[in-house]
Amino acid sequence: MELTNNNPERNSQTVLGQCSLELRLALRVVLYTLTALASVICGYAQNNSARAASNPFSGNNEAAAEGRDIFNRVCTECHGHDGAGGDRAPALAANARRYLRTTDRELFDAIEDGIANTLMPPSGLSATDAWKVTAFIRGLRASAFDMPEKGDVARGEQVFWGKGGCGECHMIHGKGGLTGPDLSSLANRRKIGSIRDALTKAQHRVATDGGHHDSSLEASSRYQQVRIVTRDGKTVSGVVSNEDSFSLQVLGSDNAIHSFNRDDLRTVEYQSKSVMPTDYDRRLTPDEFQDLLAFLSRQGSKTPPARPAQRGNQPPE
């Protein structure tokens, strides 16, 4: 800054102007610094708040779907695709495990911080992504009714009774066939993955405490398929209703009871393979299949009925 002795007033204005410019620059630097500091503090507070709060995505199917994508990108090396289990870690839907985490908070902490003295490391995910993965894992363990599929439920019902042909064997709320399990409370008894697999896989599986060494979900013995040919050539197919050494009663595909004396039968063929179709992902369009899942995943109630007693290791229908 250069001053002249000839014009004191001008010199004074020059000094004030220069000082005003420097002050404005200094204030701007201070303002930027405070803004950045506030952003850091706010982000830190939000992160701590996210860690301390309950899951903000609880019951949010879209967030759970995002959590599935994150999981399959980060966690499959140990836990397998969709948490079905791998060589280094168990299936996440299995219950009786030594290091089982049950609450949202416990799951979140395990994802964020790992589990001490195990192969489970910290994930390195943000708090938001960790909560989404938590929502996905909770969905694996929840019933289909707790985490229903998205889709057009009304159209899914039309597929069930129409193109899908499901009502020919299955009953819902007193309507439908009798040769398959009643599906009125299906969504309370099954996880959505189990329902999807039953519709698409001949040897679909359920997660057990053995991780990826899971067991096939076989057809229930309560719906034993049988094909009968009488001595006069009549053929009846259906499920065994009752039998002993001398007689046999069959619930036929016509939903009628057929009674026979064993002496009158030429052949009785018990079929180990279920007649349940497992190609619905091919016989239906993608939208129809999704809508059918949306309908089936809502067949239940908030207070599910008690499960019937099971014999041996037979899984529920």
Q: Name residues whose C-beta falls within 8 Å of residue 305's C-beta, 6 or more positions apart in sequence.
A: 185, 188
The DSSP output letter for 197 is H
What's 273's DSSP letter? S
CA distance 168 to 101: 42
Burial zone of 130 (CB within 10 Å; 0-12 exposed, 13-18 middle, 19+ buried): buried
Report yes or no: 294 and 159 within 8 Å, Cβ to Cβ.
no
- Mean residue pLDDT of the chain comes to 78
- H or E element, residue 226: strand 225-230
Encoding tokens for residue 122? Answer: 């910290």
Task: Read off the pLDDT of each residue in 14-41 and give the average, rounded to a whole number.
Answer: 60
Q: Which band of pLDDT confidence, cut at 50, 70 and 90, is reported for residue 313?
A: very low
How sure is the predictor about 191, in pLDDT bands with cuts at 50, 70 and 90?
confident
- Summarize pLDDT for 248-297 with one digit per residue, the tens: 999 888 888 999 999 999 999 988 777 788 899 999 999 999 999 999 99
Report the side by side order of strands in the sheet with 265-271: 257-261, 247-252, 235-243, 225-230, 265-271
Flag the least confident range among 9-13, 66-70, 275-279.
9-13
d(CA 241, CA 37): 75
Confidence check: pLDDT of 5 > 80: no
Could you tell me the CA-to-CA distances from 266 to 56, 146, 310 in Å, in that order?
65, 49, 33
Pinpoint the alpha helices (H) of the chain.
8-52, 61-74, 76-79, 104-113, 127-141, 153-161, 186-189, 192-200, 280-283, 286-296
Angle at 148 between CA 110 and CA 213, to 5 degrees: 55
Q: What is the pLDDT of residue 238?
A: 86
Kindly indicate the confidence band of residue 8, based on its pLDDT and cuts at 50, 70 and 90.
low
Render pLDDT for 140-157 as a digit per residue (tens, 0 to 9): 777 888 878 889 999 999
CB 55 within 8 Å of CB 104: yes
Residue scoring higher pLDDT (167 or 28): 167
Contact call for residues 149 and 298 (beta carbons, < 8 A): no
- Tell me how far apart the alpha carbons of residues 56 and 61 are, in angstroms, rounded to a whole number: 12
Comparison of pLDDT for 227 and 303, the residue scoring more:
227
Range among 107-121, 134-148, 154-168, 238-252 rated most confident: 154-168
Distance CA 255, CA 172 (A): 15
- pLDDT digits 0-9 by tens, 81-90: 888 778 778 7
Instruction: List pLDDT tens digits, range 51-63.
Output: 556 888 877 778 8
